[in-house]
Homo-oligomer: A and B are copies of this chain.
Amino acid sequence: VTGSLDGIRVLDLGTRIAAPFCAGLLGEQGAEVIKIEQPGSGDFMREIGPFIDSDDGPYSLFWAVEGRGRKSVTLDLRRPEGQALLRRLAEQCDVLVENFRPGTLERWSIGPSDLPDRLVTVRISTFGQDGPYSARPGLDRLGIGYGGLLHLTGYPDRPPVRVGVTISDYLTGVFAAHAAVAALYARDARREGRGAVIDASLYGASLRILEWTIAGYDRLGVVRGRQGNRLDNSAPLDNYPTADDKFVCIVAGSDANFERLCKAMERPDLLDDARFTRLADRAAHGDVINGLVGEWTASLPADEIERRCVAHDVPVATAYTAADMFADPHFAARGDLATIDDPVIGPVRQQAAYPRVVGEDLPNPAGAPRLGEHTDDVLGDLLGLDADEIARLHREDVV
């Protein structure tokens, strides 16, 4: 069985993470993805670490992940001939994804009004395509900052802390992929071939998942802040240290889960303690009960804590490192760590495609392409250029 988007062709004009990730997700659903890169330099992701030695010199493992599942075509979009070729390529494609500063594509005469009506164009930017801040420089951290996720993350007694990955880039990429496929659906099912232009801002993606934060301010005047790992109205609940220097998250706020946890801890006496009888009691004595749970976890290795909690149906998680994932039988059984065949450094374990479709083989993306690896093939096959013409474009550094 082929992927859902088999037959769809995507132009990835993005750099760094958000837009290329969006294009790659369409690829994981079966689309063909053609990445357009600046001749000579290519995507900035090729330049950032961590690096591994290779026959080609230091090679970015970050690029090996984010660049996978696509072809690479070099094309100088700053020159009119490159722009003309881009317009011709767009005629052969269904989706175009980009994350330049707003106005850049228009300046290069490859904006939506220069491109076919049937194209679905995904425009990702820090602040969106319009509004007073749209021309400002930006990147992932500004997305979580203005989008409100940063202020909510961390400990109350410390500055807000970033999420450990570039979350607004990824989140925006997935939202945009969703909207792009919906626009494709409408184009082919109901709109007689008319595409759409999607405006996805980084800050907007964080804002969209901000729970009750906006409503709470509007109707209660509550300015929500950081709470660390505990909640005022629930206990026990925290990330607790273990005897083997890991952390386990235990969620046992409800009366039912607390009773189960007491059994897992072999502490039935806690159930008779008036401070811990009901959720509200435990919340009022959160430091005490969280402290007791923490003493217990500190006496055992993480895997034993997990074993005892699972035996009593208490929700538990170890804060997994990469090493934990490689050793985990569940990850192995589900094939979550895929082996991607990189053209420069060979097999590299990476996160697999996500989510899966039941009964279908997981797609296994091709490794990240060398810069311009597919330039000649794409220009020949899609645009019908002959070898002399392609050679001239190379000589003149258009590709």
Residues of chain A touching chain B, judged by Cβ–Cβ distance below 8 Å, are: 3-7, 21, 25, 29-30, 49-50, 52, 61-62, 64-66, 112, 123, 127-133, 136-139, 141-142, 144-155, 158-167, 170-172, 174-179, 181-186, 188-190, 196-201, 204-205, 207-220, 222-229, 233, 238-241, 247-249, 251, 310, 313-323, 325-326, 328-330, 333-334, 336-337, 345, 348-352, 354-360
Residues of B with C-beta under 8 A to A172: 355
In the complex, what distance in Å separates the CA atom of A149 from the CA atom of B325? Answer: 12
Residues of B with C-beta under 8 A to A354: 175, 200, 204-205, 207-208
| Contacting pair B351 A207 (CB below 8 A) | yes
| Contacting pair A50 B319 (CB below 8 A) | no
In the complex, what distance in Å separates the CA atom of A132 from the CA atom of B241? Answer: 25
Dominant secondary structure at the A interface: mixed
| Contacting pair A153 B153 (CB below 8 A) | yes
Min distance, Cβ A208 to any Cβ of chain B, angstroms: 4
* Contact sample, A vs B, 9 pairs, CB 8 Å cutoff: A30-B182, A138-B317, A150-B247, A162-B228, A170-B171, A181-B185, A188-B189, A198-B356, A198-B357
Min distance, Cβ A243 to any Cβ of chain B, angstroms: 15
In the complex, what distance in Å separates the CA atom of A25 from the CA atom of B144? Answer: 20
Residues of B with C-beta under 8 A to A217: 321-323, 326, 349
A128-B356, A154-B154, A155-B158 known; 7 new pairs, CB 8 Å cut-off, are A4-B183, A52-B219, A66-B211, A148-B321, A150-B249, A153-B164, A218-B348
Known: A5-B182, A6-B190, A174-B171. A149 touches B166 (CB 8 A): no
Residues of B with C-beta under 8 A to A151: 164, 247, 319-321
Known: A29-B182, A196-B4, A219-B348. A355 touches B319 (CB 8 A): no
In the complex, what distance in Å separates the CA atom of A5 from the CA atom of B189? Answer: 9
Number of copies: 2
Residues of B with C-beta under 8 A to A198: 355-358
In the complex, what distance in Å separates the CA atom of A128 from the CA atom of B332? Answer: 13
Known: A211-B166, A212-B62, A212-B65. A155 touches B149 (CB 8 A): no
Residues of B with C-beta under 8 A to A216: 50, 61, 322
Residues of B with C-beta under 8 A to A146: 317-318, 320, 328, 330
Report which of B150, B205, B215, B355 forms a contact with A350, defined as CB distance below 8 A. Answer: B215
In the complex, what distance in Å separates the CA atom of A138 from the CA atom of B135? Answer: 43
Residues of B with C-beta under 8 A to A229: 159, 161-162
Min distance, Cβ A86 to any Cβ of chain B, angstroms: 20
Report which of B52, B147, B215 forms a contact with A65, defined as CB distance below 8 A. Answer: B215
| Contacting pair A357 B197 (CB below 8 A) | yes
Report which of B21, B316, B351 forms a contact with A214, defined as CB distance below 8 A. Answer: B351
| Smallest Cβ-Cβ distance to A63: which chain B residue | B212
Min distance, Cβ A164 to any Cβ of chain B, angstroms: 3
Residues of B with C-beta under 8 A to A161: 153-155, 161, 228-229, 239
Min distance, Cβ A226 to any Cβ of chain B, angstroms: 6
Residues of B with C-beta under 8 A to A238: 159
Residues of B with C-beta under 8 A to A178: 25, 29, 174, 177-178, 181
Residues of B with C-beta under 8 A to A212: 50, 61-62, 64-65
Report which of B226, B313, B334 forms a contact with A164, defined as CB distance below 8 A. Answer: B226
Min distance, Cβ A252 to any Cβ of chain B, angstroms: 10
Min distance, Cβ A231 to any Cβ of chain B, angstroms: 10
Min distance, Cβ A62 to any Cβ of chain B, angstroms: 4
Residues of B with C-beta under 8 A to A349: 214-215, 217-218
Report which of B149, B319, B329 forms a contact with A160, defined as CB distance below 8 A. Answer: B319
Residues of B with C-beta under 8 A to A219: 52, 61, 345, 348
